[in-house]
Amino acid sequence: MDTATEPETEQVVFVTEDGVPTGETGPKLASHHEHTRLHLAFSCYVLRRSDNALLITQRAGHKKVWPGVWTNSVCGHPAPGEALEDAVRRRAAYELGLPSLSGLHCVLPNYRYRTPPFQGIVENEFCPVFAAWADAEPAPNPEEVGDWRWVAWNDYTSLLNDTTANVSYWAKDQYSQLKGIEPFVGL
């Protein structure tokens, strides 16, 4: 899939509770609503190798799903037939302007979540979680990213624990599982 693919042409892959594709797909934007079907997605945490700082992003304010919230580095959906690792690289290039990630690996292969409604939208995803490193500075796509910053893991922890912060449900939910896994141990 081309890295410049517009969101309205993207498809999500519907899956079983175990993350197995059902053979059905749906348009990405139209598939997200108050009764969102379980579909395949991914989350990725990008670290800066020089100091292990984490790249966090604020979703663009005009996005349909979770606009304006702070979250991990990049999230997305694989295209039908696309390997998850390829989807992570594609979205990192498209959203973050980071075409080169090193050490990409899955740290939570069976992560699954369903959000409470947020502005009428429920996320319902089988969402393997990845970690990777980048040595370059991001050049985010303003259609996807409203703001970004590199933060120390302790600052990320503080952000997630701040009850007034506008942070994604999945970032908070993934945190408890990530803090005991490499490369997040000792950060």
Give the pLDDT confidence of 95-115 residue by residue, as tens digits: 999 999 999 999 999 999 999
Question: With 80 as the cut, is the pLDDT of residue 187 above it?
Answer: no
Q: Has 106 been annotated as catalytic?
A: no
Tens-digit pLDDT profile for residues 49-82: 999 999 999 999 999 888 999 999 999 999 999 9
How many distinct structural domains can be found in the chain? 1
- Contact between 95 and 63 under an 8 Å Cβ cutoff? The reply is no
Q: Is residue 94 part of a domain?
A: yes
The active-site residue out of 10, 44, 85, 125 is 125
Residues 6+ apart with CB under 8 A from 152: 51, 53, 54, 187
Rounded to the nearest 5 percent, the helix, strand and coil shares of the chain are 20, 35, 45
The active-site residue out of 75, 85, 127, 144 is 75
- Residue 32 annotated as part of some ligand binding site: yes
- Residue 85 annotated as part of some ligand binding site: no
Task: Tell me the one-letter amino acid at 153.
Answer: W
Q: Has 75 been annotated as catalytic?
A: yes
Q: Is residue 185 part of a domain?
A: no
Q: Is residue 187 part of a domain?
A: no
Q: Is residue 183 part of a domain?
A: no
Structural domain containing residue 40: 8-178
Q: Is residue 2 part of a domain?
A: no
CATH number (domain holding residue 49) = 3.90.79.10
Q: Is residue 184 part of a domain?
A: no
Q: What is the pLDDT of residue 134?
A: 96
Q: What is the pLDDT of residue 7?
A: 55
- Residue 35 annotated as part of some ligand binding site: no
- Residue 125 annotated as part of some ligand binding site: yes
Q: What is the pLDDT of residue 135?
A: 86
Q: What is the pLDDT of residue 105?
A: 97
